[in-house]
Chain A
Amino acid sequence: MQVVKLSLKKANKIPIEADNANPDNFAGKTAEEIGAIPVWYGNGQCPLGDLFNVEVEGSGSVENTKIVFEGDVSRVKRIGQNMSAGEIEINGNVDMHCGFGMKGGKVVINGDADSWLGCEMAGGEIILNGNASYYVGSGYRGESCGMRGGKITVNGNTKDYLGEHMCGGEILVKGDAGLLPAISNNGGKIVIEGSATMPASEMKNGTVIIKGEVFDLLPSYKEEEGTEEVEGVTYRKFTGDVNVGGKGVLLIK
């Protein structure tokens, strides 16, 4: 087991793009080697060691590598981008694009996450013990397939456009979602335990379950006869969005 502890030398205003900070790049490396990995700082590159204190315990393969960010990294973007295995723990708030395109492994965030959490992720798991901002599990701008696999659990609330263009995987939000969750999605499953506004517009495929209150249910959803029971809870069943000839399922109370 290899544990890599990273903490900022001093709080940064200019964003750091730590897309190289993932277990795939850190596994089996010493503190010096990890410190030499280049990251983007503003419009230039610099070694990771210039910005972070790096501590390494043990050595291991990618699967057995854990990275721990201590303290607030709310101006560090793209942590865990494209990671395929291992674990990242962030004990503080994190900036945008955390877990972008990740394929495997696990990211645990003990704080809040900015927008684009788990954007286009294909596998693995993200657990957020705080609130998320916009576009959780969505696609990059222009992309027609957002999150494709894996699971995101948000133990707080999320803002608008949760799971936009999602086409696989699972998102669970324990709190409320903002406007237009599951917009334009084409597969996958979204469970919102709190409230949501105008859910699943332009949904082509997939399942959306909302346990809390639904505001402004779209008129382009057709209510099916009878009810559906999921894990002991009875829901009204809607299908749509008929505007796009969708076959998505929307279950609400």
Chain B
Amino acid sequence: MSEILIKNASVCDPAQGINCETMDICIRDGKIVDSVSENAKVIDAEGKLTMAGGFDGHTHSAGKINVGRFMNPNDAKKNLVPGLSGQVARTEKTRAQVGYNTPNTYAIGYRYAKLGYTTICEAAIPLLAARHTHEEFKEIPILDKMGLSLFGSNWQVMEYIRDKEPEKLAAYIAWGLKASRGYGVKIVNPGGGEAWGWGKNVSGLYDPVPNFDVTPAEILMGLAEANERLQLPHSVHVHCNNLGKPGNYATTIETMKLFEKVKPSRDRQSLHVTHVQFNAYAGTSWRDFETGAPMVADYVNGADHMTFDLGQVIFGPAMTMTADGPVEYANARMLHEKWSNQDIELEDASGVVPLFYSPKSFVNAVQWAIGLELALLVKDPWKVMFTTDSPNGGSFVNYPEAFTYLMSEKRRAEVISGFSKMALDRMVLPGIDRELDFYELAVMTRSTQSKMYSMPEKGNLKVGSDADIAIYDILPGHVDPSTEYAKVKKAFSGAAYTFKNGEIVVKDGEIEETPKGKTYWVNAKVPENIDTAMQKDIDRKFRKYYTVSKANYMVEDMYLQKPVEIGTEGVF
């Protein structure tokens, strides 16, 4: 029995409404408990901000990131955030680390832990390539992991929606999650991945997918229905149509409105829209491109059925990777960049393109502003999850830098002073004076995630929760984030302590221990007769089209490290 007592911590835990109050936290056997015995190891956290371990709810850290690694081997030596990037030789405790946007798996684990993060959610697992994702998960130390499985351009899904077979669709989703050991339903540019197989894209919610006679709106509604029927812990996780196109904010709002009628089966949102920064563009072309964030934020402020994440841009090199194949083709052509494109057989597409966000480019400057505008114009932080869509908007190692943008108007003004007049005319950020406090930051980096993924044991410090805790060497009230943002950045760049399951994994910004993390996945129960009928349909798909057999398709348990199976009961 291991016991730890964290004394006099300045605790910020929005899930319990605790706003930087001095208190003790007791840990026994990896869980937070009421009290511990006198033998407990005592950690003095006086004067230190203490939060639940950070939870990155949308990051590309396993799977497609590997394509990024071999497309840009030069990323290995990039060291733009010293201490959290570049080449680091192995030590007694850590393995060798390389990279910035696409670090090696070990570096991903160490660096997230140094930032005080303890859980990550891989944003896109193609069912067919899920085994690879789990093999990478296995080699990411410390962190707990989960992933979202892609269903938005899947033949079987579109056929069931076209043929109006919602029960079989739900059975297929349950099977797909099991096959990929996934946690939730990800929809990327619904229908667009299939259209891309024909060199096309879908232009909006009501543009039919070639050969399937379904529209993106029908795909979204069909999958949402199946998602709620299976009572999955997370809502559908949507990357909207028309990503990266001027004027797309209208499609984004239309998509959000579509979900007003979806009734969530659990106490959570019915829709999560991801990296909205890339989907909140106004204008009609790159010439008259401008922010669409005020319109999107306006809608979100009046809606209570959804959450979203930012996809904040960080200036410098980034690596875009998405299942949105046509977008990556457009990027590669527009920027004359390297392009990787993959066809995931019957399931989806994907692409990877490196790019560089420059403050001198008015488009990039406005993109940078849109992410922050979304975070600051949406009044309720519980609807917002902080992300950079790492590494699409920039590497996660820049989170501390991005926190200063959210917490300090002065810091924002400093960055904005380098923008062109044209860029300033296209954004509303200079007129926003809101500055987040530590409590709101904790909501966006921990609490929202816990709620939206229905993970009550994560992202909070309640008794019974996992003892994943981040302690930062900064004391709210004694440091003014709006002027002393350098201190904020320093504190968040290297946690004084990071606890993972009650074990000290980071101390004074350095790795102490590298335990293995858990992998969460969802097993949704489906009546046997429906499952059998559905299996007949996919058997035909495997016989006729797939390059692998069904027996070789499923991810076996041996690929999962410390699997945690979350069971749900489908309603049929």
Contacts and interface: CB of A to CB of B under 8 A. Distances in A.
A45 B75 CA distance: 24
A172 to B, nearest CB: 26
Contacts of B72: 142
B417 interface: no
B77 interface: yes
Contact of A139 (B71, B74, B75, B89): B74
B354 to A, nearest CB: 9
Contacts of B75: 142
Interface in A110-167: 139-143
A249 to B, nearest CB: 20
Nearest to A45: B89
B73 interface: yes
Contacts of A139: 74
Nearest to B70: A142
A142 B68 CA distance: 11
Contacts of A141: 73-74
A165 to B, nearest CB: 10
A140 B78 CA distance: 11
A93 B73 CA distance: 28
Interface range on chain B (Cβ under 8 Å from partner): under 10
Contacts of A142: 71-75
The residue in B73, B74, B75 that gathers the most chain A C-beta atoms within 10 A of its C-beta is B74
Nearest to B356: A144
Nearest to A245: B336
B220 to A, nearest CB: 37
Interface in B65-120: 71-75, 77, 89
Nearest to B336: A244
Contacts of B74: 139-143
Nearest to A145: B74
Interface string A205-223: 0000000000000000000
Contacts of B77: 140
Interface string A44-79: 010000000000000000000000000000000000
A161 to B, nearest CB: 16
A234 B155 CA distance: 64
A178 B308 CA distance: 55
B321 to A, nearest CB: 15
A199 B168 CA distance: 60
A147 to B, nearest CB: 14
Contact of A140 (B71, B73, B89): B73
A139 B338 CA distance: 15
Nearest to B90: A43
Nearest to B75: A142
A140 B74 CA distance: 6
The residue among A45, A142, A143 with the most chain B CB atoms within 10 A of its own CB is A142
A143 B77 CA distance: 11
Interface in B446-480: none
- The residue in A45, A139, A143 that gathers the most chain B C-beta atoms within 10 A of its C-beta is A143
B115 to A, nearest CB: 26
Nearest to A140: B74
A140 B72 CA distance: 10
A223 B73 CA distance: 36
A142 B67 CA distance: 13
A51 B314 CA distance: 44
A88 to B, nearest CB: 22
A143 B74 CA distance: 6
Contacts of A143: 74
A141 B74 CA distance: 6
A200 B73 CA distance: 24
Nearest to B71: A142
Interface in A95-117: none
Contacts of A45: 89
A38 to B, nearest CB: 10
A244 B522 CA distance: 48
A139 B71 CA distance: 14
A141 B77 CA distance: 11
Nearest to B89: A45
Interface string B52-75: 000000000000000000011111
13 contacts: A45-B89, A139-B74, A140-B73, A140-B74, A140-B77, A141-B73, A141-B74, A142-B71, A142-B72, A142-B73, A142-B74, A142-B75, A143-B74
Given A140-B74, A140-B77, 9 more contacts: A45-B89, A140-B73, A141-B73, A141-B74, A142-B71, A142-B72, A142-B73, A142-B74, A143-B74
Interface of B: 71-75, 77, 89
Interface of A: 45, 139-143
9 residue pairs, one from A and one from B, having the closest CB atoms: A142-B74, A143-B74, A142-B73, A141-B73, A142-B72, A140-B74, A141-B74, A142-B71, A140-B77
